[in-house]
């Protein structure tokens, strides 16, 4: 196989081709055990007729040329030829149509019987490298875009999920007399994955159509496009930072270059945050113009510090960053956070300085976060490096990874009232340490139980999927990915690549890794509040409590649409509820108290419901105008390992009470649909973890 591959690649290189001709593709496929209709290459009319008779009619003729990629569009494919006369006419038409092209011959193939038509392909994504695509052919792929993707390499469970995702999955299982050999189809997808992993020169591969039969399958047409692996280093693994991140998140000493004694300066904010949050280690402010910084003895240069330093924060102007960085490296500091801005995000001059930082890091074997970030916050180490002034933070269990430092600082100002963070890590331009490095570390930090990520892109995408996949069975990862409209910006040569939009690949990669994708900020933080404070529902039955029937119905609808349902109330539960409910309402689920509902009634109803085996969780819809009365009652409830989520319409007008209820452990949402969606996401996550 290797010798054949090298021979074909060399031939393509000699002819300056970036693609393989069909007969070359099929030679490779056959060697990989992939079923395809064989090709005989005719270099004359007599050979075309002889080969057709040898194969047996009907046959197909196709042009073979190093200058022709899209044969069908140019009249280079002649189908269903049933006699020597038809072969002769087709051969002459092909030769005439391509008289100005260099020809390698005319392919003669057996016309294979039709089956259920499918498309199998591989394209190369800038973030994730090679990705596998599967879809049903014809209208399913052309109009409905009924396709699914997975980052290579794939496993058999990946393929199972991939096939089930397409809307035409019932056709694969057998519909109105059709039948498909599913084991053979899965084997085909695994072999395609293995072929591309084995040969990184493959940029795009397409088998279209593939006919699926009751027994086996057949790749009828094939295309392979090539790239230079040495110049397109896409989706690959990179040097890991896991071993050195302890000094990033739990340093025993910190130097702050650019620390300031002037309020309003970023250097003042960072150093003040470290002091006011009682950083437990030694602090070394470095400022050439100051003897002390905020009451702490300062140093004019980093090398004046006699003791070893675990980590450094750089806040000096961009023009002085390279010098400051190298001085830290010479001091022996192996972990550096660069909060200064003005690098690659500003243009060529800044990008040049950023590249200089990377060269220095490699030279001195040190690692760095940023530049253009807002540092690291670790509430369990009383460490706040943020460039924004940060008030009191409670020790929490949420890890937040963000590219945008100002975004993190702004969100933290408000979210700290209703969310408790363990770590907030900003990575800025991620010139060195990236989101996957931080993700891997937080996956093993026992203080972090839920991980949220705000990402604009992903580096080393294949490693990102692998790392996330290891973490998600134990900790939910919730990702908000911006830039969802990047699809179609790059030129593509195959149908597969044209279907593989950037955001489509991110969706597939997140599913493959078990990641929960958030639509927007409210959705991400809404999910995080529930996952971080509530147990996972163990069943689909939900008790819905409301003060108005319309909102109860809305909750029931949303649950049903998201794979859950209002639980059936057994006789015992119903009898207990009748003692609490007003006489003029029915005893149903959703439980509608009408506007007469009060906090004690709701508490008792929840406690009754939690005792039922049919009820795995609770959604309670509360009146904003008397929300304060619920907080005290809810603190008495024994959750019994079951989640409780609340909905408060118009909650923005009762924020003090909302914050108090959130801090008691019960997430608050604006609509019953939000609460139902969050609860259903928790249920699906728990079910997937249990399956795995």
What is the model's pTM?
0.91
Given a cut of 80, whether residue 178 has pLDDT beyond it is no
**Over residues 598-624, mean pLDDT:** 95
At 128, which CATH number? 3.30.470.20
Domain enclosing residue 587, as ranges: 534-691
- Kindly state whether residues 318 and 189 are assigned to the same domain: no
What is the tally of structural domains in the chain? 4
5 φ, ψ (degrees, to nearest 5): -60, -50
**Domain contains 630:** yes
- Which residue, 191, 226, 261, sits at the end of a domain? 226
- Which residue, 420, 448, 476, sits at the end of a domain? 448
- Kindly state whether residues 100 and 125 are assigned to the same domain: no
- Kindly state whether residues 391 and 286 are assigned to the same domain: yes
**Over residues 647-654, mean pLDDT:** 93
Residue by residue, what is the 3-state secondary structure of 638-667? CCCCCCEEEECCCHHHCHHHHHHHHHCCCC
Condensed to tens digits (0 to 9), the pLDDT of residues 114-173 reads: 999 999 999 999 889 999 999 988 766 766 678 899 999 999 999 999 999 998 888 888
At 602, which CATH number? 3.40.50.261
At 332, which CATH number? 3.40.50.720
Cβ atoms of residues 117 and 137 within 8 Å: yes
Question: Pseudo-torsion of CA 259, 263, 266, 269, nearest 10°?
Answer: 80
- Kindly state whether residues 558 and 576 are assigned to the same domain: yes
Cα–Cα distance between 680 and 663 in angstroms, integer? 22
Cβ atoms of residues 648 and 662 within 8 Å: no
**Domain contains 146:** yes
- Kindly state whether residues 543 and 670 are assigned to the same domain: yes
Residue by residue, what is the 3-state secondary structure of 472-501? CCCCCEEEEECCCCCCCCCCCCCHHHHHCC
**Domain contains 527:** no
Condensed to tens digits (0 to 9), the pLDDT of residues 417-440 reads: 899 999 999 999 999 999 999 999
509 φ, ψ (degrees, to nearest 5): -65, -40
- Which residue, 413, 448, 483, sits at the end of a domain? 448
At 94, which CATH number? 3.30.1490.20
What is the predicted pLDDT for the residue at 245?
95
**Over residues 14-38, mean pLDDT:** 91
Residue by residue, what is the 3-state secondary structure of 87-155? HHHHHHHHHHHCCCCCCCEEEEEECCCCCEEEEEEEEEECCCEEEEEEEECCHHHHCCCCEEEEECCCC
* Nearest residue to 402 via CA among 439, 441, 366: 439
Given a cut of 70, whether residue 501 has pLDDT beyond it is no
- Kindly state whether residues 131 and 82 are assigned to the same domain: no
Given a cut of 80, whether residue 499 has pLDDT beyond it is no
- Kindly state whether residues 59 and 125 are assigned to the same domain: no
- Kindly state whether residues 406 and 364 are assigned to the same domain: yes
- Kindly state whether residues 279 and 374 are assigned to the same domain: yes
Out of 46-50, 111-115, 136-140, 574-578, pick the least confident.
136-140
- Kindly state whether residues 35 and 147 are assigned to the same domain: no
Residue 97 CB neighbour total at 10 angstroms: 14
Residue 470 CB neighbour total at 10 angstroms: 15
Cα–Cα distance between 9 and 229 in angstroms, integer? 13
- Kindly state whether residues 120 and 56 are assigned to the same domain: no
């Amino acid at each position: 196989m290797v010798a054949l591959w090298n021979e074909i690649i060399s031939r393509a290189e000699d002819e300056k081709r970036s693609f393989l001709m069909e007969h070359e593709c099929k030679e490779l496929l056959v060697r990989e055990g992939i079923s395809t209709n064989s090709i005989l290459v005719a270099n004359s009319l007599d050979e075309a007729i002889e080969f057709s008779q040898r194969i047996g009619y009907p046959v197909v003729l196709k042009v073979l040329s190093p200058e022709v990629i899209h044969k069908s569009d140019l009249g280079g494919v002649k189908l269903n030829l049933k006699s020597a006369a038809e072969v002769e006419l087709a051969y002459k038409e092909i030769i005439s149509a391509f008289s100005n092209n260099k020809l390698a011959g005319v392919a003669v193939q057996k016309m294979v019987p039709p089956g259920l038509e499918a498309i199998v392909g591989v394209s190369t994504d800038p973030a994730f490298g090679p990705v596998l695509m599967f879809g049903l052919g014809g209208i399913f792929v052309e109009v409905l875009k009924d396709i699914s993707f997975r980052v290579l390499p794939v496993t058999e469970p990946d393929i199972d999920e991939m096939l089930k995702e397409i809307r035409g999955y019932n056709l694969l299982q057998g519909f109105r007399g059709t039948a498909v050999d599913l084991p053979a189809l899965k084997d085909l997808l695994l072999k395609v994955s293995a072929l591309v992993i084995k040969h990184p020169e493959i940029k795009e591969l397409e088998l279209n159509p593939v006919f699926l039969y009751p027994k086996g399958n057949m790749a009828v047409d094939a295309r392979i496009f090539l790239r230079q692996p040495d110049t397109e280093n896409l989706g690959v693994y990179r040097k890991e930072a896991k071993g050195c991140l302890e000094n990033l998140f739990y340093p025993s000493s910190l130097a702050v270059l650019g620390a300031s004694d002037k309020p309003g300066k970023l250097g003042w904010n960072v150093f003040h945050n470290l002091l006011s949050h009682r950083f437990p280690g030694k602090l070394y402010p470095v400022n050439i113009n100051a003897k002390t910084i905020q009451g702490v003895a300062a140093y004019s240069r980093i090398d004046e510090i006699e003791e070893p330093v675990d980590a450094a924060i750089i806040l000096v102007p961009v023009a002085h960053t390279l010098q400051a960085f190298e001085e830290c490296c010479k001091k022996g500091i192996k972990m550096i956070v660069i909060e200064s801005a003005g690098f690659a995000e500003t243009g060529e001059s800044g990008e040049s300085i950023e590249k200089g930082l990377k060269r220095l890091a490699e030279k001195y074997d040190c690692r760095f976060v940023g530049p253009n970030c807002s540092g690291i916050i670790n509430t369990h180490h009383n460490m706040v490096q943020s460039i924004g002034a940060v008030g009191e933070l409670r020790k929490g269990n949420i890890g937040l990874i963000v590219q945008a430092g100002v975004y993190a600082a702004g969100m933290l100002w408000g979210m700290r009232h209703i969310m408790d963070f363990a770590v907030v890590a900003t990575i800025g331009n991620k010139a060195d340490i990236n989101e996957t490095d931080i993700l891997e570390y937080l996956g093993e930090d026992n203080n972090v139980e839920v991980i949220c990520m705000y990402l604009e892109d992903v580096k080393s995408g294949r490693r990102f999927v692998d790392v996330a996949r290891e973490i998600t069975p134990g900790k939910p990862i919730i990702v908000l990915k911006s830039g969802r409209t990047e699809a179609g910006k790059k030129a593509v040569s195959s149908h597969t690549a044209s279907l593989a939009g950037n955001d489509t690949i991110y969706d597939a990669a997140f599913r493959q890794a078990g990641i929960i994708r958030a639509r927007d900020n409210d959705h991400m933080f809404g999910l995080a509040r529930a996952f971080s404070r509530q147990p996972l529902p163990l069943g689909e039955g939900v008790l819905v409590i409301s003060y108005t029937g319309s909102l109860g119905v809305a909750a029931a609808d949303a649950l049903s649409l998201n794979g859950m349902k209002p639980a059936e109330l057994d006789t015992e539960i119903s009898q207990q509820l009748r003692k609490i409910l007003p006489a003029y309402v029915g005893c149903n689920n959703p439980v509608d108290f009408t506007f007469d509902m009060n906090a004690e009634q709701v508490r008792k109803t929840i406690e009754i419901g939690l005792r039922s085996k049919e009820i795995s969780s609770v959604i309670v819809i509360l009146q904003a105008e008397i929300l304060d009365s619920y907080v005290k009652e809810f603190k008495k409830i024994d959750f019994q390992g079951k989640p409780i989520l609340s909905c408060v319409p118009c909650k923005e007008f009762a924020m003090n009470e909302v914050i108090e209820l959130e801090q008691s452990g019960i997430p608050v949402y604006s609509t019953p649909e939000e609460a139902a969606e969050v609860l259903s996401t928790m249920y699906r996550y728990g079910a997937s973890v249990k399956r795995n």
